[in-house]
Amino acid sequence: MLTVSLNGVEFFAYHGFYQEEQLIGGRFIVDLSVAFKPVDELSADDITHTVNYETLHSICRSEMSETRKLIETVAQAIINQVTTQYPFVEQVDVLLKKMHPPLSGPVNHSAVRITYNKGDN
């Protein structure tokens, strides 16, 4: 199994249950890991034989730009896009952190993690 990951990808976005969050926005951090069995020899040194992390970044950027109430919805949308783009993937793990959520005291981040396993579907 081979894993391609992006870690600590930062975005400014407008996700949040409360209207104020959707107006003022905030910082979010995405960690994304995609695992698969290579379909061809990696020694071919060909990007079409792997998952392109530039494409993964583009998927994250696109989904983060869609304002949603729940970060769970955003994480699932990232997974949906990855599995559509790369139907051969076996596992996708998304950890989405909302930095300094508006709570009654200091909180570094809230987070949601969703893991897709091909065999579970």
Instruction: Supply the residues annotated as catalytic.
Output: 98
To which H or E segment does residue 31 belong? strand 26-36
Residues 93, 88: Cα–Cα separation, whole Å: 15
Residues 72, 76: Cα–Cα separation, whole Å: 6
Burial (Cβ within 10 Å: 0-12, 13-18, ≥19) of residue 59? buried
β-strand 91-99 against 2-13: which pairing, if any? unpaired
Question: How many CB atoms within 10 Å of residue 69?
Answer: 14
